[in-house]
Structure 1
């Protein structure tokens, strides 16, 4: 049943709306009434109505304030139909700007126009709930994929250094200045998923995750990233004043989110929470804890905390994928089929020797799956294509019952990735160099370093340096200097800027170092170059290299 809340300070209006329609016939239950916005907010938190009919002018808190508070706290739902008087059309316009479904004039309220507004709201409610894009602000695809890649690397301890982590976080505008961090491993479930077809399940899981991403950050500062269709990770950022009671803080935040998910989507989430860590680079250890105890959670026990368990005999059901850190990073960064073979062969050999380690094998395969989806361009599409002949696609992994079946699944994935890596390797390397050069040309006023540019591209500094030497006619530093000096010549001849001004503008430490670099590139000092071209009136127009 759809829940409807009536908010008006006139009891007769409340009674009139209740009696005007056969609400049950419309599939609607009137779950409550309130006489002002403040009381309505309390009821909304308890009852989670889908639709609200509200007056605009009320004591304590009016209808517009109520709508604004609900948008701020809950997002697109609940939907609003507003009641107004003839003289309040300016308020009605403002309500419509806040996405009110409709406005009704009290003195013209009839069964027909009320029913028409309600039917419009029901139709919109259905669209909102079904839409997997519900409440998501548009984000450039490249930025979104880079975010996902960053968090997968963080959760699996794949960063080469703290500097690489900090630079990428800075470029993505991700804040890691909390007093502490905790990672969680979560699963989405629903009572009716067993009766859904594959497309409906995809929409259900996607919509639920998007709603989690919308709701949970309203209660607690966190980052959320998808792992596969029904699993996701949460990184909680704990402030100083919540360290002593972070368990209650997380429980309350997740509980509020779960209530909304259940009320509006019929969905639930459950999972496990790792240890508290102070260094963000230790988040991977917290995530490993969470995965280790995940089997102890369930819909009936929605959150299980590592720090509250007495693990005298640790549950050895996870696989530490970071032991293959260097080979994994190289394989996925460089599209290196030989490195890929090394990783897969090592994992498969390990579990052939220990076939009883089923849970560890499943965890290893899951990690490889998450990495493939997140670290590769169009990873989801690529992996789905590899398993296109399987009834449940790559998700068939989670239906397997033996270690041997998991090894066969890994072999299918390896063969598909190996073929893809072989075809993409050379073109991808050339594209990385071109992208690096474009980044340099777009940021020549900065003091560019190899680490910064590599971080901007999401690759390791050593690999970028290697590619520059192999696929460019000069090294990284030489190219940066060429771009800066080309721009320096333009600034001196066209803008008549002083040498120290040019040096400062282009990110050099001082004019002396700028002059040294200039002479190395051009064969003369910037003073001599400027004097020559100013005197001759050459007026050279130069621009950074284009390749």
Structure 2
């Protein structure tokens, strides 16, 4: 089925085109017949066509303006444009073709036969585009799944989870087997000997190195690789009860170093953390690994962290990492300075009650949420610690409470300044009003025009503000909130997938499932199956 939209300010032209198309093709749906470009935009927002047949000269918004608007404001694949023109408009046709119009029809010459020929060629082009974007979508889906998995693992290494059951449940959702008798973490630093031109090239090399190192280490033990930052790879070793951890690390890291030096012309330096019996403690282990890494004198060193006390020695038993994370997320996402200050005070109090290693792990949570919740968060940190050779990761070189306290003070002042600046910015307030409206009406089928109208601004202005103050655009932000609510409804209210789809304003369950998988990496049915399995397991334990 091919969808076609007709735009022409002459009623007879619209009727004639509609009649010829309907009589010539059974596989065509006419999505609309409108008078000008502005009405065409509204029709496109309601039902995206595959092909737009439009006059060049129209009131309000002409055909060329419509073409430019569609290419600027809608994500590909965008409709193919076929222009209607007269002889004297031929200069406009040249402009249209330069703007990537597909074809044109001369009004005084075209008939049903010519129209049919042009549309049949256009249908072949649409089929070609569909195949291309279907392949791209499959690739993007896999990339999105990998992105979400890496984000989960990064969160794990940064201390974002406090319950082992929670970690293993999420891992199962992503089809990641994190079960092991013992865990060991490694912070692997890449020391490039040659300057790499371009971010894309550096990213490609980074991923090639990560995969090569994984291949080497997998010969010795199961492992999980984490793209931690542009110079550091995080590694979680999943060890058997009787495995010789030190021997595995020495042999595997030595082989990996030789491989990278030979094939990538880079040197590796490794920090090995403390061994852990629980997956939730890998964050503390990784914090120690990074500290060991900073003690490495030169390239190719393998440094094992050593400490004479237990991992959680002197930790305050009443302090909750999960509560810390919750408060930080809430404060940063809602720009709540009072909650942020209160959370920093609680964190500062731990300096006198917990070991330096434990406090550094807690501050790692703060760094993690600054990067993930604040727009350009990582760049803000990089700028604040630009004079430090190791940037904001200088934290992992500190051993004294005085150094850690000064670091926490500096980073909290930085974030507080950003939050205060945002509160004083009227444009930011508009964005927050829009977010509040979206959250209050999350069960509605929300559109950019509806939200913009509700807060009294134009939809183009709201769209530009979302891009300015958020990592996600308007549509992605709304979709992500709806998917979070969907997870809650599926897990706690035991609704069917079609019921959740309808409740959250999706067009149909199939589209809902597609969006759900895009944002979570798995389908709603997979989530429901895992959730039911967990609840069944919990009931069995109770009995």
- State the TM-score, normalizing by the size of structure 2: 0.44
